[in-house]
Amino acid sequence: MSLDLKREDTEQIEALRADEQALAIEEKALVRKIDLFLLPTIWLMYLLSYMDRTNIGNAKVAGMADDLHLSSNQYSVTLVVFFVTYVVFEVPSNLILSKTRPSVYLPVIMTLWGAVTCCMAAANSYHTLIALRLVVGLLEAGFAPGILLILSSWYKKDEQSKRFAVYISAAVLSGAFGGIIAGAITGGLDGAHGLAGWRWLFIVEGAATCIWAVVAHFILLDFPATSKRLTERERELAISRLQNDNVTARTEDTPRYTSIQALSASLRNWRTWLLTAGYMVIVGSSTLSYFYPTLVKGLGYTSHMAQYMVVPIYAVAFVAVACTGYFMDKFPQNRGIVIAAWLTLSMICSIVVCVVYNFTARYVLLVFMAAGLWASNGLALSYAASTFGSMPQEVRAVSLAFVNAMGNLAQIYGAYLFPSTDAPKYLLGFGVISGMCAFGIIVYVIAHVVVRKHSTK
């Protein structure tokens, strides 16, 4: 009798193991399918988004500032106004997205900002350029926080660092590709049909954005419970695996938060404010990217060559982002301390830049400083997304949008860190970045301690 019981127990255990293995295989196949739909689509969307946002720096060194008679201060204002509307509309846009279909909402706003980018080619005055930048900022406001919400709604906490690394790598490579494309367009199309090269830059990149927006509509996933590109079984598995990881996934029975309730719940959570403070430091320091062509031009290169010399900066940053994303999914509990480590590298480089005036040495330091900031950026987003994972969808939408919005608010003052009057040393800019990195180190060390403490309770 006892032998029969043991045999029966053994058979049950083996059956259970077989079920677990089958479920693991099924889940792995689902994640691959999600990756296939989301990652390439989002990557190219963000690549084009970031190029449309930052191509004004390439246009400046290609002659836009001279043609429109822009002073250094006026150019800084054209950078700033984008972030005014961008910051204001991020949270409302994410609230709308959390209650609609991402596969419709995001491609629509992408098509619109691509069209407005094309219109920037027709700008003939400082005030026209400002008006168009305001509109682009308003339309792009919904994109980045929307992608953060989508990624946090599909992936478990220990899967997010790699996916956020893929996402942020688009911004990194857009800088590299932006320099190459800008050099090719401004040099090859300058004067074609009577248009300056910088005007063609806006036309070509804006048109590419519109085209991909249409394609993205047919590929992009909605949320796990509503995506029509998955079978009913796949949707159930997508929801259950997130729930097992303490990530809230909306179902038909989940009560909805009103916009006011979601905003209140988010702003009353200390995690929102702590990670917002840290991300503001990272993004504020990363405003440096708008001045890469200008800083590199200070090395003595021509306008076109300066575009190409920016590429190695982003290439090293790409490697740093990829390696960080890959390894941090293996050690997700250490994201805070690794961010602090990267910021320490950037701070040291920024301090040394202030006392070393050899242009070659400064270029090398700029490369490593940028790598630290970009690696911190991607990891900070996955850190926030995983920390907010247990929040209801609307609250998580507000929290992620708030972190991203306040982070980009830092770019408003960051746009004034490198005035032309400070050339070629730019002590003000590098000094402020050193201080911000020091503050960020403190914030993320604290976050590393308190977030882990509360997550274990």
**What CATH number should be reported for the domain holding residue 396?**
1.20.1250.20
Q: Closest by alpha carbon to 106, among 224, 261, 250, 214?
A: 214
Q: Is residue 31 situated within a structural domain?
A: no
Q: Is residue 10 situated within a structural domain?
A: no
CA–CA gap between residue 437 and residue 443 (Å, rounded):
10
The total number of structural domains that make up the chain: 1
Global pTM value: 0.84
pLDDT of residue 258: 82
Q: Is 193 exposed, middle or buried (0-12, 13-18, 19+ CB in 10 A)?
A: exposed
Whether residue 151 contacts residue 38, with contact meaning beta carbons closer than 8 Å, is answered with: yes
The length of the chain, given as a count of residues: 457
CA–CA gap between residue 104 and residue 99 (Å, rounded):
12
pLDDT of residue 457: 45
102 prior amide bond cis, ω within 30: no
CA–CA gap between residue 282 and residue 287 (Å, rounded):
9
Whether residue 398 contacts residue 242, with contact meaning beta carbons closer than 8 Å, is answered with: no
Mean pLDDT by 10 residues, the chain (457 residues): 59 66 86 94 92 83 86 83 90 89 95 95 91 94 92 89 91 76 79 85 93 95 89 90 75 72 91 94 82 66 65 89 91 92 95 84 89 94 89 89 88 74 80 93 95 68
**Torsion on CA atoms 88, 89, 92, 96, rounded to nearest 10:** -170
pLDDT of residue 313: 87
Ramachandran area for residue 63 (φ above 0: left; ψ -120 to 50: alpha; else beta): left
Q: Is residue 147 situated within a structural domain?
A: yes
CA–CA gap between residue 317 and residue 292 (Å, rounded):
13
Q: Is residue 15 situated within a structural domain?
A: no
Q: Is residue 26 situated within a structural domain?
A: no
Q: Is residue 208 situated within a structural domain?
A: yes
Q: Show the domain range for 157.
A: 41-246+254-455
CA–CA gap between residue 120 and residue 203 (Å, rounded):
8
pLDDT of residue 272: 93
Q: Is residue 306 situated within a structural domain?
A: yes
Whether residue 290 contacts residue 79, with contact meaning beta carbons closer than 8 Å, is answered with: yes
Q: Is residue 12 situated within a structural domain?
A: no
Helix axes 143-154, 393-414, angle to 10 degrees: 140
258: DSSP letter: P
pLDDT of residue 5: 54
